[in-house]
Amino acid sequence: MHTLSGAENILSKAEEYLHDESRYKFGVPSELYFPTSIDDVRTIVKDASRINRPLHFIGARTGTTGGSNCSNNSAAISFSSMNRILSVERDSSDDTLFLRCEPGVTLDTINSMLENPHLHGKDIPGILLLNDNLFFAPDPTERSAQLGGMASVNASGARSFRYGALRKHITGCKLVTDNGELISFKRGKNIMGSDGYDLHTESGTIIHIPALTYRIPEVKNAAGYYSCPGMDVLDCIIGSEGTFGAIVEICIKLIKKPSIMAALSFFPDRQSAFGFVDKLRNHEATLSLEYFDPGALQFINNCRNMFPERIPQFPAGMTTAILWEWNDDILTFEEFSDTIESYHTACGSSLELTWSPSQRTDENILKTFRHALPEAVNAKVAQNKINNSNLHKIGTDTAVPQRVFTAWFFDVLSRLESTGIPFVIFGHIGDCHPHINLLPENESQRISAMALYEEIMKKAADAGGTISAEHGIGKIKKRYLPLMYTSEALRQMKALKSAFDPKGIFNPGNLQ
């Protein structure tokens, strides 16, 4: 096992491991470990527990909430060397296939193997069970993300609209507890009762999981520990942001890969785009619905020279767009074309203005468009930083119930427009989860943007929504949890954390 010791040595050789994409304040650990096995992790945990040393867990650092950021005089584990798909196995209870993985395996590795299993996975036990017609459905956005990190925040992506977030696709995991013991969880085996649940460790120790009576919002959510009546203990480990112990193995379910058709439809205004979404949202063949506000299209227009592949001019008079995906196995686009045309017509558009393979649009154009906006936003942020290094994108991760979404959105939009701060809105409108990106251009706007950011989160929580739908809470957002949860709910979360981690050594600063 490779180990770096000494704060100065770690800072000079591995500074990039100490913080995530947020670059939120971070410290330097005294030891940075790169374990290659579960036994390595158990040894590290036991040593840290013995002297009450804080222990941080590090994935691919693609997060945005400071979740993997380290503290001074701590120890830290990078899972980058535990990066294998261990086996392909069949679940005898429902005959589905799953992958048993180490926490450091990346989404890109998983997807590449599934696209061509007998080329990329020929040495994996059980590989012959696979064909190239299976996939991992949640589709988180960042392909370089590691599975352990994704599980720790219950990650999701565009197709989570149809398939749900990661929690729904994890069938089991292994957790190293504070005394170095290994606990295996399999879905359906550890169901909470009204009095909680007693977990029995391999040494005979009992960990009593207290009953949880608070409820999480009924929206896509990655804020706080999961809780629902009759829940599986596995489900509260998923999304716990490394605060219960070290997740050292994860099993993920595979499902049949659909035939996917993608299209980009344009509309004259926001209301028309929302109307189109409402028509597609409840159709069983719809896989994803992604929204692009007028400012988003304008951003792309302003940065067209950045992109090596040409993006066609947007249709005249159209100011917003919806990128949507369709399961062609359920209903072919040809069979649905008359209906989808009527949807467009009712919303001020037409299929003639839609970019799709059926309209002879190059599929690469849709891929270029999908990646163009983040690149354009990053370029704008970099330009702003030239004059003030403190300036950065301030992005929301809120989601609200569908019944209040339109009113909530236009209320927030009114506040945004009244400030004069540049902004771009895009994202997962199918889940009522658009990302609002504030792009302050000076220090005064930065201060105002932070206040507005908090106001938007409060508006989301007051509407029955969440302050974090997919990125987690980490260290940056923990002070906003009282916007969503009562003091009793937060007390129960602390009790749950203490049950797994009585010394409080795991990922200190996250969530609490």
pLDDT digits (tens, 9 = 90+) for 396-449: 999 999 999 999 999 999 999 999 999 999 999 999 999 999 999 999 999 999
In this predicted model, what pLDDT tens digit does every residue of 54-104 receive, in sequence order? Answer: 999 999 998 888 888 999 999 999 999 999 999 999 988 888 999 999 999
User: Where along the chain do its domains lie?
Assistant: 2-78, 85-256, 260-462
231-241: pLDDT as tens digits? 999 999 999 99
Q: DSSP string of 384-419?
A: HHHH-TT---EE---B--HHHHHHHHHHHHHHHHHH
HEC-encoded secondary structure of 239-284: CCCCCCCEEEEEEEECEECCCEEEEEEEECCHHHHHHHHHHHHCCC
- pLDDT exceeds cutoff 70 at 183: yes
pLDDT at 92: 83
CA distance 74 to 55: 6
The encoded tokens of residue 11 equal 């800072």
Q: 2-78 has which fold?
A: 3.30.43
Output the pLDDT for position 107: 95
Whether the per-residue pLDDT at 129 is higher than 60: the answer is yes
Nearest to 415 by CA among 371, 459, 447, 382: 459
Q: Reply yes or no on domain 260-462 having CATH 3.40.462.10.
A: yes
Angle between helices 443-462 and 402-419 (to 10 degrees): 160
- Which pLDDT belongs to residue 452? 97
Q: Domain spanning 85-256 has what CATH number?
A: 3.30.465.10
Q: pTM score, two decimals?
A: 0.93
Band the pLDDT of 363: cuts 50, 70, 90: low
- Strand stretches in 30-107, DSSP E: 31-34, 55-58, 75-78, 85-90, 97-101
pLDDT of residue 367: 78
Q: How far is the C-alpha of 372 from the C-alpha of 223, rounded, in Å?
A: 29
Could you tell me the CA-to-CA distances from 428 to 161, 205, 277, 291, 370 in Å, in that order? 8, 44, 11, 6, 13
